[in-house]
């Protein structure tokens, strides 16, 4: 289902619920009931509940947005480390240099095509990607430098493959949703309580008040959608992209 359709349905559903409850209350209310006599304590509690819930929503959005930024940083770090390997092996003999560069390009091509789709669809990296990265590590660690110049490049190359491996592991950890189920329970429950408290103010006196209640409910639905959309850094909404790989390896995936 397209994300814009999910957002539209969520906002429409929130509006429909508010209107339906208001109409039911309006018909069920007694003729002598005075909606203007809402206790001050209810208005005070509604205000504070709204403020607290707004803070919680803000923290949740900041958390998933930070997780999305961290996921992009993992991709950038991995691509940069592999690029450094591809460039620094120029001091090695042609047959060793070409083999390592070919293995790096094979790994990058696999990441931006097969593995990226697996992260979006299945929420995990592939075993083939692990195998290809392991091959690069073997290429680097098994080579015995034949001169002081090659020996000086050996350790930095080992450091770069370690950095790439670390970034890959961090990328794998970032494929899962960042918001625990208990947090989602709190967000949804808080939305129900907040909207319910607004309805407790007997919003049925004027069409203007009903419109404001509907817009407020739609706004909460939109904020919850944003949290859900950013919660999967590689598969929904404004996702982390493979652009760092394409920028440093223009021929990747082609």
pTM of the model: 0.77
Tokens of 166: 């670390």
Average of per-residue pLDDT across 104-120: 91
Which one of 51-55, 132-136, 231-235 scores highest in mean pLDDT? 132-136
- What percentage of the chain reaches a pLDDT higher than 70? 83
Q: What burial letters (b/e) apply to 80-105, b meaning 16+ CB within 10 Å? A: bbbbbbbebbebbeeebeebbbebbe
pLDDT tens sequence across 181-206 = 888 898 988 888 888 777 766 555 56
Report pLDDT for 15: 75
Q: Which residue has the tokens 């920028």?
A: 247
Strand boundaries in the chain, DSSP class E = none
Place 130 in a pLDDT band, splitting at 50, 70 and 90. very high
Model pLDDT, residue 207: 75
* Model confidence band, residue 218 (pLDDT cutoffs 50, 70, 90): confident
């Amino acid at each position: 289902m397209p994300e814009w359709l999910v957002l539209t349905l969520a906002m429409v559903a929130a509006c429909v619920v508010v209107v339906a409850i208001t109409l039911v209350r309006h018909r069920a209310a007694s003729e002598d009931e005075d909606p203007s006599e809402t206790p001050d304590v209810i208005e005070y509690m509604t205000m504070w509940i709204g403020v607290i819930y707004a803070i919680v929503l803000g923290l949740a959005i900041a958390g998933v947005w930070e997780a999305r930024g961290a996921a992009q940083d993992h991709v950038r770090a991995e691509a940069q480390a592999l690029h450094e390997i591809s460039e620094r092996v120029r001091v090695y003999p042609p047959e060793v240099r070409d083999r390592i560069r070919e293995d790096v390009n094979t790994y990058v091509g696999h990441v931006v095509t097969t593995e990226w789709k697996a992260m979006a669809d299945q929420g995990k990296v592939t075993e083939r990607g692990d195998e290809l990265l392991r091959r690069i590590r073997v290429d680097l660690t098994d080579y015995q430098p034949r001169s002081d110049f090659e020996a000086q490049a050996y350790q930095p190359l080992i450091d770069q493959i370690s950095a790439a491996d670390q970034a890959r592991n961090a990328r794998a950890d970032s494929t899962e949703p960042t918001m625990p189920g208990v947090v989602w329970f709190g967000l949804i429950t808080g939305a129900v309580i907040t909207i319910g408290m607004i309805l407790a103010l007997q919003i049925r006196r004027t069409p203007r008040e009903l419109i404001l209640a509907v817009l407020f409910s739609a706004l909460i639905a939109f904020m919850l959608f944003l949290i859900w959309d950013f919660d999967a850094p590689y598969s929904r909404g404004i996702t982390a992209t493979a652009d760092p790989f394409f920028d440093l390896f223009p021929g990747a995936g082609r």
